[in-house]
């Protein structure tokens, strides 16, 4: 059982940057793969990026490649999403999530995940 709490969202101008944090608590948080998802009003939740624990691989949606970077702290209990050159279409509520099992290669579809945070809103607007 793990709990996830996101932070770092806010209002930023186009071209700006934000760093989101996902704090993971519970048993062995460092062993859980983590995904970041975005949900804009009236739309489905979509995968943005994820970090595996089975092989340390990371994945990005094509829309954010080259602009977003996912990373993990040394203790493994915080996962960051560094977002650069932000665009208005990046706006939405960002959620982090973890699967039920340990040591997994992550996926970018929300149905694969079991534990979810409450979300942090990101608005990119001038």
Contact between residue 15 and residue 82 where contact means Cβ atoms under 8 Å apart: no
pLDDT surpasses 90 at 109: yes
Inter-CA distances, 13 with 41, 83, 90, Å: 19, 12, 11
pLDDT surpasses 90 at 115: yes
pLDDT surpasses 90 at 84: yes
Report strand pairing: 58-60 vs 46-51.
Answer: antiparallel
Q: How far apart are CA 123 and CA 57, in angstroms?
A: 28
pLDDT single digits (tens) 7-48? 999 999 999 999 999 999 998 999 999 999 999 999 999 999
Spatial CB neighbours of 78, under 8 Å, sequence gap ≥ 6: 21, 22, 23, 24, 72
Q: What is the per-residue pLDDT for 90?
A: 98
């Amino acid at each position: 059982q793990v709990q996830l709490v996101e932070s770092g969202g806010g209002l930023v101008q186009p071209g700006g940057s934000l760093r989101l944090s996902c704090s993971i608590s519970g048993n062995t948080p460092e062993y859980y793969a983590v995904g970041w998802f975005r949900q804009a009003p009236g739309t489905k939740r979509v995968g943005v990026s994820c970090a595996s624990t089975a092989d340390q691989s990371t994945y990005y949606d094509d829309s954010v490649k080259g602009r977003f970077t996912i990373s993990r702290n040394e203790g493994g209990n915080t996962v960051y999403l560094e977002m650069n050159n932000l665009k208005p279409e990046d706006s939405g509520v960002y959620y982090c999530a973890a699967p039920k099992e340990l040591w997994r290669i992550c996926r970018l579809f929300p149905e694969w995940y079991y534990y979810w945070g409450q979300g942090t809103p990101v608005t990119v607007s001038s």
